Amino acid sequence: MKDFGYQVHRDNTIDFEKNDFRIARFLLEREPSLNLCIGCGSCTGTCSTGHFTEFNIRKIHTLIKRGETEMARKQIRQCMFCGKCQLICPRGINLRNVILGINRALEKI
97 forms part of the interface with ligand SF4 (CB under 6 A): no
Please give the residues from 53 up to 82 whose contact with ligand SF4 meets the rule CB under 6 A: 57-58, 79-82
By CB under 6 A, is residue 103 in contact with ligand SF4? no
Contact (Cβ atoms closer than 8 angstroms) between residue 20 and residue 67: yes
Q: Are 98 and 38 in contact (CB under 8 A)?
A: no
Residue 109 contacts ligand SF4 per CB under 6 A: no
Indicate whether 24 belongs to the interface with ligand SF4 (CB under 6 A): no
Is residue 27 close enough to count as binding ligand SF4 by CB under 6 A?
A: no
Least distance from C-beta 8 to ligand SF4, angstroms? 26
- State the Cα–Cα distance between residues 67 and 15, nearest whole angstrom: 8
Q: Is 32 in the site for ligand SF4 (CB under 6 A)?
A: no
Q: Is 89 one of the binding residues for ligand SF4 (CB under 6 A)? A: yes
Please identify, using beta-carbon distances, which residue of 19 and 81 lies nearer to ligand SF4. Answer: 81
CB 3, min distance to ligand SF4, A: 33
97 C-beta neighbours (distance < 10 Å), count: 15
* Helix pair angle (95-108, 57-65), 10° resolution: 60
Give the H/E segment covering residue 17. none
- Close Cβ partners of 1 (under 8 Å, ≥ 6 residues apart): none
